[in-house]
Each structure stands twice: as C-alpha cells, then as structure tokens.
Amino acid sequence: MGYHSFKTYVKTCVKYVLFFIFLINLVSTAHADTGRLVHYNWTEDNGNTIIDNSGHGNDGINNGTTTFILSTGGTARHFNGQSRITIPNNDQLAFTDPHITFGVFFRYNSSNPARNTYLVSKGNTAFRISIDHTNSMLTYSVYADGHPIHASSGTRIQPNKDYEAIVTYNGSHAQLYINGLANGRGVDYAAEALGPSYITENWTIGSSSDNTYGLNGTVYAFHLYNRTLNSSEILDLYANDLRSIQHLRPGGIALSWDDSGHIQSCYRYLDIFQKYNATCTINVNAVSTRAEAARELEELEALYSAGWEVALHGYNHKDSVRFLSNNTPATWLDQEIFPNIVEITRYGYPIYTFAYPYSSRNAVTDATIAPYFRTLRTRTPTLVNGNINETTGAYYNWDDTQLLYGVEIDDQAVGANLQSIENGIDYAIKTGSVLVLFGHAITPNVTGPYQISTARLESILNYTSQNGGVFYHMGDLGNSSWKQVPRFSNVTANFTVSANSIFAGENVTFTDYSINHTTGLLDFGDDSPASSVTNITHTYISPGIYTANLMVSNDVSTDFMLKKITVVQAAAPVPDFTSDCTTGPRPLTVTFNDASTGLPATWSWDFGDGNKSASQNPTHEYSKAGNYSVTLTAANSIGSNSIKKVDYITVLPQPPSSDFCSNVTNGVIPLTVQFNDTSTGSPAAWKWDFGDGNVSSEQNPVHTYFSAGTYNVNLTVNNIDRSSSKTATITAFGSDSSGGGRSSSGGGGGGSPEPAKNIKVKELSQAYVAGGKPVRFEFPKNVTAIVYLSFDAKKTAGRTTAIVEMLRDKSTLTPYIPEGEVCDYLNIWVGNGGYGSDEENLENAVICFKVDKSWIQEKGVDKTSITLNRYDDKKWSELPATLLREDNRYLYFTTETPGFSPFAITGKLTAKENLFEILPEPETENPEYHTPNIAADVGHAPGKKEKITGIPGFEWTYCIIGLLAGFGV
C-alpha cells in the first residue's frame, strides 16, 4: 500500500505502489510508513509540468497554478478559480480494492467563482471533496460497486482559515475527517470494489476536471492512500501537515479552579501540582468578606508566589444572564465586576481573566465586560459524540479568540471520563493548541458534584507532563492585543513645573503627566488650599522653600510625587563658585561649579588664561604652567555682580616619567642596540647608563655590547621640576653560545647554535616584523652569499634580527652532505624561538643569493643547475633557483623557501668532461678490513676526484680491458 501527497513523500504497500505529494516538506508519520517510500517533488516546475522525480507514477500537468513560499520555508500552490493540476491516470492509480483514503489540506478565500468549489476529484463526480458555499459545508463522494456514496460535514467551515479534509472508505463505511477529527456520522455502504470510473479517470486538484468549479485559494497538500487510515494516523497526518505550514507553539492545557471557597483545597494539594511543574488559574469571588478571609488571603498569596494566576469569578457569584434580566449592564458592572477587579487588584494581583459563574453568558454579557479582560471563560455546551478531542470549541488555537469554552473535569461531570480527557490532551499536544479545562474542589474522596479526586487530578497532570504538554494560565490565552482600562491599572504620579526657583510674587505653572488616574489633588506647600485641578498656574507670594505634592488615584491604586519650589526676594545675584581642584600638573582640567545665590540667569567666566565661557558650570583645561585668577560675573533681570579669585588656579610643570624601549633585548655579540626614549612629562635632559661602564646623554642612543653578559640599562630623565629613572635588562650572548642566542624574548636578535670555529663570517640585518605585512632583510656589506631575505609575516615579532653565517664546512646540524658540487655552506636564522623556521609564522619566503663566476668556471659547473639546498626535518631538499641577473663577478639567483635553517649552494658538473674516481686495489690478505677505509676516504673528501680527460676513446678502451680481464683473457 502507499499514498500520494503534495508534501514530499508517498507511501506504498507490498501490493500496490502509488501516491502523490504536494507540499514542500517531507511529512512522515509513523503509522503511514508501512511500505516503500515513493518520492514526488511537485514543487519543481518545468513549464506546465510538475516533475515526478520518484521514478513511479506520472508527472503532474500544471494548468496555471503558482507556487509561493510559506513562513516555514516550504512551498504551497495558489489557485485562482480557473487553474488546476491534473494527475494522469496509470496502472498504479487504478486499484480496485475498496479501501481508500484521500484528501486535501487547503484554505479558500471568501470570493469564489461558483456555488460549489471542487478541492480534489477523480473524474467529475466519482471521487471528490468540494465546498458547498451556500451552506458553508464540505461535501464528498465515493463510488463503490457503481454506487455513489454522498455526505456532508457535520460542522460549518469559514473562509481564510486552514482545513485538512480527509475521506476514508473501508468497504463498508465512508467517513469525513476535518483537521484530524471525524466530522459527521459518515455513510454505511458495503462494497467489494471501488467504482469502475476509478480505474480510468484522472485526479484533478483545485477544480473539477472540466475546470467548471475552480478553487480561489491555496492547496498545501494532497494525499492519496490505497488503504484506510485509522483515526490516529489521520490525526498524525494533520499534525505534521499543520507544522509544515506554520510554526506552532507547544500544545498543552489551561486548567482553572472556580470559587473562593476552593482556595483552601488548591493550596492544600499544591504539592501535587508542583510535582509536575503545573501552575493553574484560580478564579475567585469576594475574599475579604469571607469568614476565613485572613487565612484564605495567605493561601492565595502562596498560590500566586508558586506561579499561579489569580482571576475573577464575579464578586457575589451571580448568574450573569439572570442578573441582567432584571438589571442594566451598568448595574452588573458596578455590583459584580468592578468590585471584583478592585479588591483583587488592590491585593497586588494583575487581572486578565473572568470565568462566568455557572458558565452563564450571552452576547450582551460578552460585550459588556470585554474591555476589562483579556480572556473570558464559559463551558462547552456539549461534548461532540461524547469525545473531548472532537469538541473543537474546547481548544484555543492562538487566534486571539477572547471567549473560550472549558470542559469540566470534576469526577461527576457529564461525559468527561479520564480516557476522553487524555484523548483531548493528545489532540492539543499534537496540534499545538490548548485544551481548556476547569474544576472545583480537590479531595481524596469524592462525595458529590463539583469535586475532583486527587487520583484523577494527578492522572491528568501526569499524562500532560509525560507527553510533553505545557501548563498554561488562562491569562496566557485570549485576545493578545487587550490592555486593561486605565481606571483598573496602576497609577503613576508625574508632573513638571515651569520653574523650580522664582522671585517672590512670580508664578509657577504645574503640568500633570500622571497616567491611569481618575482623580488628583495638588498641594502647593505654601498653606494655600490644595487644588483638584492638576494642570494649573500658582503664585508664590513670600520667600521660602516649598514642597509641592501631587497625589493621584483610581479604583485600584494611589501614587504621589514631590517637587521643591525655591522662592527668593528679588535682587541682583551674589556670585560665588567652587572647583573640583585648584592645583595640578599641566595639562590641568578643572570643573567650575556655580554657587551663586539670588537666582542668576546668566554667567560669564574669565579663566585668566585668555579663555572665557558662558556656561553655568564649565570645564576648562589649562595647558601651560602658571598661576591664574578666575572671575565669575552673575546676572539676572535685577542686575549683576562679579567675584574674582586671585591666583585661584596653580598649574605645575608636568613631572617627567622615565621610560624607554629597545629594538632587541638579547642577541649575540657584538650586539648593537638602538635605545629609544619614550618618557613623558617633557624631560629636558637624559642620562643613560648602559651597565657596561659606558654612558650617554643623547635622547635616543645606539650602543654596542662586545662582551657576553647581562647588563642593567638605566635611563634618568629630568626637567626643572623633578627627575625619574627606569632600569631594564639587555643580555649579550657569546658567539659560541649553543642556543642561548635563540631566546623567545620579543623579535630578538636571533642567536645561532653553530659553533664559532665553523663560522667564517656572519652578517646581521634588522627589520620590524608585523603580522599581515611583508618584510625584507637586506645584507649590503657583501660579506656573505646572501643579498636579501623577504617573506610575508603571519604573526607579529616586532624588531627582529636576521643572521647569515658563512661556514667553513658543512653545518654541524646536518649529519650528511647534499648531492652535487658544493659551492657554499651557510646558515640563515631569523628571529628568536625558531620564528623563521616555523611555517605558521611566515609564508612566501624568498632568498636572493649570489654565486661567484670564478667557482663555476673553475669547477666546470653548469650554471643552469645552480640549486639552493635546505636542510630540515632530517633531510636535504632542493629549492629550484631562478637566475635573476649577473654582473662581472657574480650570478644572482632567487629561490622560494618554506623557512630558514642550514643551507648549501650546489651545482652539477657540465657533461663535457668525464669523471672517474681511481681507487687503490684492495689488499688481498683481508679485503674486508679496508672497505670501511675506502668509504671513509670518500666521505672525508667530497668532490676531490681524479679527472681523466682529453684522451679520445679512453672510456671505451678502459671498459674493454675490464671486460677481458673478467673473462680471463
């Protein structure tokens, strides 16, 4: 068996093969996955063809439908009333087994071109699901044994909402499912096979086959199985389809408890709720008038602190409809609703939910209290077929519906058996909805109505928790755009004044910015009568400091705010000021603070250094040493006065602070170090002590250390005010140091492990190595074979020394020699700590070297064979060289290298001369004793071989003689 779906999968059975998919995501259900998977990607368009890339079935024919992207990233199909998709018939579709399941996941618009809209059909009438727009219902047909089976949905549907309609037939009963639940009673009819038309007709999605009754809307998915899915499979199919088109919230339950009289039982069994991390809503009536009010208020606070919602249930628990039959809505609000809101809000609990007493309500009651609550709760009138999961009104689907219908779960509630409740919870969890439940008293032993046993309660909580359900408050649901009206919201007092300081006889204007208040009272603080008008202008007659107090309130809260008003006698101001400092080294930043009295309106500052300011509290920087007098002139409408503080600010010269750096901190002697003064405070004189008996008064001296040792270098700087010193260390290594010169301090000098006795000459070069930048070391003294080194630095090493050592013999670091005629052995070291030998530190390294032409001529070396050999990782590697240029004496080459280490410049002899090595005959007594000596001679004098040249045919003659001797001729 299998199925077709416009999602991304089709399932097959052993006997038959084919089904379609029209949706974007692969939707996989455990129940339906009983056969071989056949995959169709109906979202791949190729002109008017929708590609079947499964290798089974046929491509779909697209007649005008268009794709669009869903919020989940998937794809759906839009139908415009004339468009459709046709699935051509084939042998795989022509099964006759009467077991069949087919359906469509869709949304239709309010405007459709015909009275009926075909959603899916095989043939024009044989198998179909369509919308009856006149009655807002779904109709369906199945043909079996040539007999038409017709039926309609048991509930109405609405435009612009998502529905999944699935029809099943098992050979005896046809049933419609809407959104995963059986809808209507279905039709009983026994048959042996599907109708004959099923064999020949095509499937059409989005209209009838003749394009008469087209859909104006969306098709998310089409499903076809050649077996009858059970109700659990259909619910899973809907749940998966639903998640493919929208991001669902976690499903769960919203459990609430009615009446103040049941606060105690909720509190008594709080540990049961906490065992499952369940929080609920408690709906209360008047509490303060109850006999045990004090105790119940403490228990209510404990529930709230445990995460529960406190909601309302009518102040006097009156039947709303019955009360309104004899009273006006205003009276109902004043007697039942508003006192309930005021009492509970004043206890500090935010109010979102109202549960109707006795679940009695109508449209008038809903409209009357809608502004005051986010959520209204009544009860479901009936359970559809006695099943909670079929009672769709009991679920909240995050659609901002304000009125919710709850299911009573008390033990003696009609129809709500435990299995039905668990089925309802399953549906909520799978579809991402919330099942609304409510109860009353909690007790271990039920003795009557309006009671739920602790065992039943724990079963519900445990089942929800174990299946991944979420426990919601009623206030989490309802109309998400709702906001409480101001009179029942917390007030906030807030006001401004036109001036905080005035002359006697002047006015102050008060502006009220308080929120949510219904009354206000403004006390001016000068013994004049308080005003209930809070936006007002008031005249203060006498000098003094007055506190104005605004108090605002509404039905549920009160708040106040104070402001000081300073009233002075009218007069010219008396200037005065302070500052945060009066003495300090330059540059000295000073903040001046106005301390004038008499209500100055303007300020004029003279800082004594030629700078001025009109700010009340300016900040000024003195850049030069000296003493400065500061003057402040303060003025108002009456007049002005000045104050001058002579030599108020003293700016001192900045004291020096000694500091310096050097290009290297260690290296091999002779070690030349560039010292750079970085002192602050404008020093006027410098005194350097290099630690080896030498001194200098230069600011940035260069000094050379000729002896190994550690030297303490001291710099003392001074100016007219004071002096400062700093000491640092320079380490000079001996030239025969084996590794001491390769310390890891900074870029460094880059010492050498090569013994001094094997070094003919060395040359040093310094450069600054910065990560991400190219660097080049030049060797201009021409005492080595190296002209320059360059590379791109990966890491910063700072001022770095490169050393080239020309060797007398091969490096002691290389146990054997490279192949070819050796021109020079040399070492190249860059930086400290192996910086130059580590490929993680550099890249694109190039060596430019030179070879003396006289050596090439003397040795008979082919200049095209010149190679630079590098020793690394216990082996020699040839680095091909490129001839760069030449002059009268040298050939100049460049080569790329992975790093720097021991090197050898080699070449190969030209082919014009033939080279033989004549060895002495081994002694006959014991030849094996002499074999090592021969090898030792060869190894000891590489390249020293006798040449036999210029005798034509000599090589052949020598060869023939050897052969004859071998044959004993």
CB 118: neighbour CB atoms within 10 A?
25
pLDDT at 113: 60
* CB-side neighbour CA atoms (13 Å) of 241: 32
Which residue(s) pair with 41 in the sheet? none
Domain ranges for the chain, please list them. Answer: 3-245, 252-476, 490-568, 577-652, 660-733, 756-909
pLDDT at 44: 58
User: Same CATH topology for 577-652 and 660-733?
Assistant: yes
Tokens describing residue 245: 């088109």
pLDDT digits over 56-112, tens only?
A: 566 778 888 888 888 877 778 888 888 888 888 776 667 778 899 999 999 998 776
* pLDDT band with cut points at 50, 70 and 90 for residue 585: confident
Average pLDDT over every residue of 730-738: 72
Q: Is the predicted pLDDT of residue 598 greater than 50, yes or no?
A: yes
pLDDT at 86: 86
d(CA 93, CA 361): 53
CATH class of segment(s) 490-568:
mainly beta
Peptide bond into 587 cis (omega under 30): yes
Q: Is the predicted pLDDT of residue 361 greater than 90, yes or no?
A: yes
Beta strands in 328-453 (DSSP E): 353-355, 375-379, 395-396, 403-408, 434-439, 441-443, 451-453
pLDDT at 955: 42
Tokens describing residue 399: 């659609």
Q: Dihedral of the CA atoms 129, 134, 136, 142 (nearest 10)?
A: -20
Closest CA to 166 of 95, 240, 115: 240
CA angle in degrees (0–180, nearest 5) for 877-879-883: 155
Q: Is the predicted pLDDT of residue 920 greater than 70, yes or no?
A: no
* pLDDT band with cut points at 50, 70 and 90 for residue 531: very high
Average pLDDT over every residue of 377-395: 91
User: Which residues neighbour 874 within 8 Å (Cβ) at sequence distance 6 or greater?
Assistant: none
Q: Is the predicted pLDDT of residue 570 greater than 60, yes or no?
A: yes
pLDDT at 58: 67
* pLDDT band with cut points at 50, 70 and 90 for residue 776: very high
* pLDDT band with cut points at 50, 70 and 90 for residue 26: very low
Tell me whether residue 414 is exposed, middle or buried, using C-beta atoms within 10 angstroms of its C-beta: 0 to 12, 13 to 18, 19 or more: exposed
Among 31-45, 143-157, 260-274, whose mean pLDDT is lowest?
A: 31-45
Average pLDDT over every residue of 594-609: 96
Phi, psi (deg, nearest 5) at residue 176: -100, 135
**Fold entry, domain 577-652:** Immunoglobulin-like (2.60.40)
pLDDT at 17: 30
Average pLDDT over every residue of 421-425: 95
pLDDT at 558: 94
Instruction: Say which residue, 883 or 124, is predicted with more confidence.
Output: 883
pLDDT at 40: 43
Contacts within 8 Å (CB) and 24+ apart, 14-17? 15/97, 15/226, 16/92, 16/95, 16/97, 16/226, 17/56, 17/92
Token look-up 């060289």 returns 881
* pLDDT band with cut points at 50, 70 and 90 for residue 43: low
Which residue(s) pair with 731 in the sheet? 666, 710
In this structure, are residues 608 and 637 in contact, taking their beta carbons and an 8 Å threshold? no
Which residue(s) pair with 668 in the sheet? 733
Q: In which element (H, E) is residue 507 found?
A: strand 507-512
* pLDDT band with cut points at 50, 70 and 90 for residue 931: very low
Average pLDDT over every residue of 896-919: 75
In this structure, are residues 166 and 234 in contact, taking their beta carbons and an 8 Å threshold? yes
Q: Is the predicted pLDDT of residue 459 greater than 80, yes or no?
A: yes
Q: Is the predicted pLDDT of residue 475 greater than 80, yes or no?
A: yes
d(CA 902, CA 836): 12
CATH number of 756-909: 2.60.220
Q: Is the predicted pLDDT of residue 10 greater than 60, yes or no?
A: no
In this structure, are residues 556 and 345 in contact, taking their beta carbons and an 8 Å threshold? yes
Exposure pattern of 155-184 as b/e (b: 16+ CB <10 Å)? Answer: bebeeeebbbbbbbbbbeebbbbbbbbbbb
pLDDT at 403: 97
CA angle in degrees (0–180, nearest 5) for 797-801-805: 140
Tokens describing residue 100: 């069949």
d(CA 815, CA 131): 93
**How much of the chain, in percent, has pLDDT values that exceed 90?**
64
* pLDDT band with cut points at 50, 70 and 90 for residue 518: very high
Q: Is the predicted pLDDT of residue 916 greater than 60, yes or no?
A: no
CA angle in degrees (0–180, nearest 5) for 334-340-346: 115
Among 31-35, 457-461, 480-484, 888-892, whose mean pLDDT is lowest?
A: 31-35
Closest CA to 337 of 310, 366, 372, 309: 372
**Fold entry, domain 252-476:** TIM Barrel (3.20.20)
Which segment, 12-26, 46-60, 545-559, is predicted with the most confidence on average? 545-559
d(CA 484, CA 565): 36
Among 283-292, 330-339, 918-927, whose mean pLDDT is lowest?
A: 918-927
pLDDT at 750: 41
Token look-up 């450069």 returns 767
Tokens describing residue 422: 């668990």
CATH number of 3-245: 2.60.120.200
Side chain identity, residue 59:
D
Average pLDDT over every residue of 314-327: 96
Query: What mean pLDDT is reported for the chain?
Result: 85
- The alpha carbons of the chain give a radius of gyration, in whole angstroms, of 50
Helix (H, G, I), strand (E, B) or coil at 764: strand
**Cα 372 versus chain centre, distance:** 39
pLDDT at 936: 30
Helix (H, G, I), strand (E, B) or coil at 476: helix
User: Which residues neighbour 592 within 8 Å (Cβ) at sequence distance 6 or greater?
Assistant: 577, 578, 579, 605, 617, 618, 619, 620, 630, 632
Tell me whether residue 942 is exposed, middle or buried, using C-beta atoms within 10 angstroms of its C-beta: 0 to 12, 13 to 18, 19 or more: middle
Among 44-53, 455-464, 547-556, 807-816, whose mean pLDDT is lowest?
A: 44-53
**How much of the chain, in percent, has pLDDT values that exceed 70?**
85
pLDDT at 198: 59
Among 48-62, 134-148, 245-259, 505-519, whose mean pLDDT is lowest?
A: 48-62
pLDDT at 71: 82
d(CA 239, CA 427): 9
d(CA 269, CA 280): 12
962 Rama sector, left if φ>0, alpha if ψ -120 to 50, beta otherwise: alpha
Q: Is the predicted pLDDT of residue 676 greater than 70, yes or no?
A: yes
Among 24-28, 380-384, 913-917, 954-958, whose mean pLDDT is lowest?
A: 24-28
Average pLDDT over every residue of 42-66: 68
Q: Report in angstroms the alpha-carbon separations of 458 from 64, 106, 453, 473, 778.
A: 56, 39, 9, 18, 86
Closest CA to 745 of 661, 670, 863, 805: 661
Tokens describing residue 235: 């619910």
What size, in residues, is the chain?
969
Per DSSP, 201 falls in state P
d(CA 567, CA 599): 9
* pLDDT band with cut points at 50, 70 and 90 for residue 55: low
Q: Is the predicted pLDDT of residue 1 greater than 90, yes or no?
A: no
Average pLDDT over every residue of 242-260: 93
Side chain identity, residue 272:
I
Average pLDDT over every residue of 859-874: 93
Q: Is the predicted pLDDT of residue 739 greater than 70, yes or no?
A: no
pLDDT at 715: 96
Instruction: Say which residue, 258 or 225, is predicted with more confidence.
Output: 258
pLDDT at 494: 97
DSSP 795-824: S--EEEEEEEEEESSS-TT-SSPPSSEEEE
pLDDT at 507: 96
CATH number of 660-733: 2.60.40.10
**Antiparallel, parallel or unpaired: β 501-503 and 558-568:** parallel
Widest distance between CA atoms in the chain? 150
Tokens describing residue 607: 């800082």
d(CA 571, CA 604): 18
**Cα 920 versus chain centre, distance:** 81
Among 20-29, 89-98, 436-445, whose mean pLDDT is lowest?
A: 20-29
Helix (H, G, I), strand (E, B) or coil at 385: helix
Among 380-384, 467-471, 480-484, 952-956, whose mean pLDDT is lowest?
A: 952-956
d(CA 384, CA 395): 13
Among 52-56, 120-124, 184-188, 311-315, whose mean pLDDT is lowest?
A: 52-56
* pLDDT band with cut points at 50, 70 and 90 for residue 915: very low
